[in-house]
């Protein structure tokens, strides 16, 4: 999936599935379940064993219909390795301006993590596609809403703590996108081969997001 199409998918669904800790033999089943549930954007975190091979495999298996990226990218070396493996976008938990500038130069969408207003503005000025407010599970909805007062020109993503019960609230305050991990990528269900659970959860989150 090309950059423009991938960005459109983020803007359409507003959900990025965060795939962490999934075993390589299950990754295709997870991707198919997400797609069938309506979630077309997923990141594989680099602290997942075999992440680079999974990203490469996913691009071959479903890269035409899904937008596949890399998460937990900590530095420039990580970013380059992820892109070489086939990652179409980059997500970081931290603010590394070298990573942002490199991604911008390479025309790769980059969603860097930032917490404070200073970090968020720095990330945006360096060339972020949107800024990931992290950890939003701890900071909470009111914190992000306050940030959007003076920083409403910067698209922000909430990552952590997003569920069916509050997803609409995050979108209503103006979040550009939502990174959803554990409440969607349930390792226990996946390990049991219950990919239908992931499909149903994806569909449920999308339905809740649309009200």
- Residue 18 and residue 44 in contact, taking contact as beta carbons nearer than 8 Å: no
Q: What is the DSSP code string of 136-196?
A: HHHH-HHHHHHHTTTTTTS-EEEESS--TTTHHHHHHTT-SEEEE-TTTS-HHHHHTT-HH
Is there a contact between 158 and 133 (Cβ–Cβ < 8 Å)?
yes
The verdict on whether 43 is a catalytic residue reads yes
Is residue 128 within 8 Å of 100, Cβ to Cβ? yes
| Catalytic residue from among 4, 9, 23, 43 | 43
From 9, 132, 199, 201, active-site residue: 132
Residue of 151, 148, 167 whose CA lies nearest to 159: 167
Catalytic site residue 11? no
125 to each of 107, 110, 131, how far by Cα in Å? 15, 13, 11
Residues marked active site are found at 43, 132
């Amino acid at each position: 999936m090309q950059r423009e199409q991938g960005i459109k998918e983020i803007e359409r669904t507003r959900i990025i599935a965060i795939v962490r800790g999934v075993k390589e033999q299950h990754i295709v089943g997870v991707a198919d379940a997400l797609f069938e549930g309506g979630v077309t954007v997923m990141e594989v975190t680099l602290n997942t064993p075999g992440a680079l091979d999974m990203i490469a495999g996913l691009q071959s298996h479903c890269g035409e219909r899904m937008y596949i990226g890399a998460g937990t990218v900590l530095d420039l070396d990580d970013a380059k390795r992820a892109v070489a493996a086939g990652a179409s976008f980059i997500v970081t938990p931290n603010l590394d301006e070298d990573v942002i500038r490199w991604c911008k130069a390479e025309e790769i969408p980059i969603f860097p993590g930032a917490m404070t207003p200073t970090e968020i503005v720095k990330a945006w000025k360096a060339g972020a596609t949107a800024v990931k407010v992290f950890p939003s599970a701890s900071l909470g909805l009111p914190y992000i809403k306050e940030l959007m007062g003076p920083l409403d020109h910067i698209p922000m993503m909430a990552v952590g703590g997003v569920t069916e019960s509050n997803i609409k609230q995050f979108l209503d305050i103006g979040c550009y996108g939502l990174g959803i991990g554990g409440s969607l990528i349930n390792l226990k269900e996946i390990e049991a081969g219950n990919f239908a659970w992931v499909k149903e959860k994806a569909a449920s989150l999308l339905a809740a997001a649309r009200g």
